[in-house]
Amino acid sequence: MIPFYLFIVLPQRRQSQAASSMHARIVAGDEIITTSGIYGTIVRLEDETADVEIAPAIVITIARRAIGRLVADMPIPQPQSLPEPPNGSDHSGEEG
């Protein structure tokens, strides 16, 4: 019973608390991503719904629980370096 609690119940409870915390701190003007992957900006919040602008002058109403995350909370991807060309390759565009 203890392994079940440690591997199933406890992580689920932490995830639920994190989602509740995120939903409590959302305010109008925040950029969000819905659980279905739609990016938008919160225009208005109510207890159960949120109006989200997804394009200029295009506002949709979604369930507040459908807000998946704040864009500001997302990690910024680091640029990846390009691999070095193999020895003997000349990419200068000159033919020799």
In a domain, 3, yes or no: no
* Domain annotation covers residue 39: yes
**CATH at 40:** 2.30.30
Boundaries of domain holding 55: 24-73
Nearest CA to 66 out of 96, 23, 7, 30 is that of 23
N-terminal to C-terminal alpha carbon distance within the chain? 73
Number of domains in the chain: 1
Helix (H) or strand (E) holding 55: strand 49-55
- pLDDT of 64 reads 92
- Asked whether the whole model's pTM tops 0.75, one would answer no
Please give the backbone phi and psi of residue 16, each rounded to the nearest 5 degrees, phi first. Answer: -65, -40
Domain-embedded: residue 92: no
User: Is residue 48 in some structural domain?
Assistant: yes
CA distances (Å), origin 54, targets 28, 31, 73, 79:
14, 10, 19, 27
Task: Note down pLDDT in tens along the chain; length 96 residues.
Answer: 677 667 777 788 888 888 888 888 899 999 999 999 999 999 999 999 999 999 999 999 999 999 999 988 766 666 777 777 777 555 555 554
